[in-house]
Structure 1
Amino acid sequence: MKRVVAGVIILLLFGSVSYLYPKYQEKYEPPLRLHRLPPTLALEIMSLGNKELMAEIIFYNTEFYFGEKVGWRKETPELRRLYDALDKATDLDPYNMDCYYFAQGTLSWIKPAVPHLNRLLEKGLKYRTWDWYIPFFLAANYYFQLKKPAKAANYLKLASKLAPQNALFATLTARMFYEGNETEAGIAYLKSLIADTQNPILRKKFIRRLKALEAISFLEKAITEFQKKYDHKPKSLDDLVTVGIISHIPSDPYGGRFYLDKNGKVYTTSKLAEGWQKSKNDTNKN
């Protein structure tokens, strides 16, 4: 009986601490910042010839910051600072795949950040000539965010050449360039990222976006069914519920509301987006 009572007390204490500590942290601890790094040349001198080690330290510091900021504190990270850190880490060691993968996972969903991200990936492509991941990432960025399918096709062709055994490229190529189904291509792309990523924070972000795209795909298929049945597009998503094609409109994992635009395409008020925010103290990269 004493053990049961002790166990209950421990559970209550643990639950109380788990609930109260984040509130204490938010109120009394200073905000977690990712400090701006000195110019690459200064970092190279400071490394004393150990550029790869310095790059790895920068990467782990950046990953820790992101995990603490997003996973624990539930705060918006300083993504421009994060990009700057990864850019300088890859200046020191352009072969560091961790940096490229992490950059893709955190920045590829934010359209204003994609041109910066692509410059970083192009750097990796120049050195990691055997790696299919980098042209694969570039293809996705050009197709989904920059809407340049011809350029995306070139990178996807390179990725398939580097990994001819990967069946994913055939699926993506068909959906991107033959079927014209961007939503289904996005679902296939995210499933490949979820299968490969080992970072739990990034995995959670990928799964969240996957759920959003699956909801959009569900609505798109319902619209197609409505159009076949009534020979015109629905005026709103509520029409799909009214006629019984779907029982309810799915929720947006990003907190927005799905709706039809004037062309009958499914959108959401959240835009499935996160902010590419600039810190007040940020200036141009050294």
Structure 2
Amino acid sequence: MRKRGIRLVAGLMAVTLCYCVAVAALFGADRARTAEGMDEVLYLPNEKLLTHFTGGLNSVIADLLWLNCIQYTAREHHGLRHFTWLEAMLTTSTRLDPYFTDVYRLGAIFLAALRADADASLNLIRTGMLHNPHSWHLPYEAAMVYLMNKREEPDARYLATRYLSMSIATGNAPGGIANLTAKLQDEFSLTEIEQDTWKEMLHSEDEFLRELAQRKLIEIDLRHVCRIMNEALGIFKSSRGRPAASLEELVTAGLLRAIPEDPLGGSFFLGSDGVAYNTTLLDDVVNRTLNPVINALDSYNQQHQAWPPDLETLVRTGFLKEIPKHPYPDQHWEYDPSTGHIQ
């Protein structure tokens, strides 16, 4: 009996040591920078190999990896916002424990809302649905991705309704999901649906998720203000026969009470195209637009051991489908081929 206890303790110590080495390598390498200018380097243990060292404690290791994934996501959210290794970390966690529904659900939100990778988000959700067919959360989150991140696609509403119906079909979804489906079918405002989603997350036990929800709700308000300003700009042009020279002119004309403040520290401005913008919203779009470009630059550098001479090379060599337009009016991407830096 005593020998068995010693073997058990030794086994647990081995598992703990293996995990500590893996996580240390994971985050030590994550912070490493190479002389060639690579953005980030990461060693993430292969989940199939890692399984052999968990001693049957796959779910425990998956829990710990998920906690580290949340920390990594929070750090990136307050840092460069590249989220380069987010998908790999989520994949490792879910393969260690394919029934860990929170990783699929929250990981999909991170991929869609922060990394702006709706396809990766949906792939993660669909994998989760195969292993967890009775979870109403996963098809619900898939519907949210179509409503919030793929809203411009022609079949987005249809697919969202389809996934919501799948959520209801599990028999576990709350009554509000049926109401949401009805809202969608009746062509109610998608903004209202998005607001409800983030408001629900305000009650999360995780501080980072509450912070993210608060920010997203403010962003919704900022978009609403921009719509009001653009409506006022249209009225001004129709009544005066000329476009407004500034947003302040809308206040003078009585079309706006005042130029509101941005709680997130940004500002509103009138673009050269006559459209009202908000810098907080545009800066977020800039970061999300840059992510696939940065990933393409890194992939090119890894394959060719050099940075491309220009961004067009990424398109010609198949690393990027197209060069995205800069979100700010009259601004263009600045790329340095000697460092691979783009802004």
**TM norm structure 1:** 0.69
Q: Percent identity?
A: 16
Is residue 87 from structure 1 mapped to residue 91 from structure 2 by the alignment? Answer: yes
- The equivalent of 2:193 in structure 1 is 185
Higher RCO structure (Cα 8 Å, ≥6 apart): 1
Please list, as runs of the form range in 1=range in 2, the aligned pairs for 1:192-211 lying within 5 A after superposition. Answer: 192-195=200-203, 197-211=204-218
- The equivalent of 1:5 in structure 2 is none
Of structures 1 and 2, the larger Rg is shown by: 2
Aligned pairs, number: 251
- The equivalent of 1:137 in structure 2 is 141
Residues 177-225 of structure 1: per-residue CA shift (max 9 Å, x gap): 4345232322122112223x22211211221111110232244357668
The 1:265–1:104 alpha-carbon spacing in structure 2 relative to 1, beyond 3 Å, is farther
In the alignment, is the contact (CA less than 8 A) between 1:209 and 1:253 conserved in 2? no
- Taking only aligned residues, the RMSD between alpha carbons, in angstroms, comes to 4.0
- The equivalent of 2:257 in structure 1 is 246
The 1:200–1:244 alpha-carbon spacing in structure 2 relative to 1, beyond 3 Å, is same
- The equivalent of 1:52 in structure 2 is 59
Is residue 167 from structure 1 mapped to residue 176 from structure 2 by the alignment? Answer: yes
Runs of 5+ unmatched residues, structure 2: 1-27, 33-40, 304-343
Q: Which amino acid aligns with 2:264?
A: P
Offset at residue 94 of structure 1 (A) = 1.1
Distance in 1 (CA, whole Å) between partners of 2:283 and 2:198 is 19
- The equivalent of 1:269 in structure 2 is 282
Residues 204-248 of structure 1: per-residue CA shift (max 9 Å, x gap): 12211111102322443576688799988x956826534244322
Q: Which amino acid aligns with 2:251?
A: V
Distance in 2 (CA, whole Å) between partners of 1:177 and 1:192 is 21
Distance in 1 (CA, whole Å) between partners of 2:202 and 2:107 is 15
Offset at residue 115 of structure 1 (A) = 0.6
- The equivalent of 1:41 in structure 2 is 48
Distance in 2 (CA, whole Å) between partners of 1:152 and 1:261 is 36
Distance in 2 (CA, whole Å) between partners of 1:240 and 1:178 is 35
Offset at residue 51 of structure 1 (A) = 1.9
In the alignment, is the contact (CA less than 8 A) between 1:254 and 1:270 conserved in 2? no
Q: Which amino acid aligns with 1:99?
A: V
Residues 137-171 of structure 1: per-residue CA shift (max 9 Å, x gap): 11011122123221111112222344453325524
In the alignment, is the contact (CA less than 8 A) between 1:183 and 1:213 conserved in 2? yes
